[in-house]
């Protein structure tokens, strides 16, 4: 019975590969993805046994978890930056459209039928502003959710 318990504790329960990359300058790094072409690559297999699992994570497992965490933080930060840039770009487009409509509106005042035309342009301006506001509200909600997740990820360090 004792022998069976030892066999169970020594049985592998998980394995993953980590790439060991050595640069031309001799620096060694470990990562989940294959090394760059100019680096020397070795694959390090990390095996965890049932006994190891009870003892806690190994150094390699903590390194791997740290790399995964950093990758999640970077991906979230990139998503936040992309959404912010999209909102800024959309606001610039809206400003250009509204400016063009304002110029048309100023020309409408110099026309006999200008009052009707001016009202039409005002309605169009309101529609343009509403369209961009709706698009921005969707992105602002996505941004709120992503920032919350990013703060949570950064708080886990």
What would the pLDDT profile of 59-116 be if each residue is shown by its tens digit? 888 899 889 999 999 999 999 999 999 999 999 999 999 999 999 888 877 666 777 8
Query: Against a cut of 0.75, is the pTM above it?
Result: no
Closest alpha carbon to 76 in 21, 143, 121, 3: 143
65 and 32 Cβ atoms separated by less than 8 Å: no
pLDDT tens for 9-56 read 444 445 567 778 888 888 877 777 888 888 887 777 766 565 555 667
SS3 9: helix
Residue 5's pLDDT band (boundaries 50, 70, 90)? very low
């Amino acid at each position: 019975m004792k022998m069976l318990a030892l066999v169970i504790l020594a049985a592998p329960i998980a394995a993953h590969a980590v790439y060991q990359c050595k640069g031309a300058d001799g620096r060694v790094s470990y990562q989940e993805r294959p090394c760059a072409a100019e680096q020397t690559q070795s694959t390090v297999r990390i095996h965890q046994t049932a006994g190891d699992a009870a003892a806690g994570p190994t150094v390699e497992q903590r390194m791997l978890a740290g790399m995964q965490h950093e990758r999640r933080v970077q991906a979230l930060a990139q998503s936040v930056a992309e959404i912010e840039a999209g909102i800024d770009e959309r606001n610039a487009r809206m400003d250009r459209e509204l400016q063009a409509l304002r110029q048309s509106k100023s020309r409408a005042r110099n026309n006999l039928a200008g009052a009707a035309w001016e009202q039409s342009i005002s309605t169009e301006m309101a529609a343009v502003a509403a369209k961009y506001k709706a698009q921005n509200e969707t992105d602002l909600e996505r941004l709120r959710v992503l920032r919350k997740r990013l703060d949570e990820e950064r708080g886990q360090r």
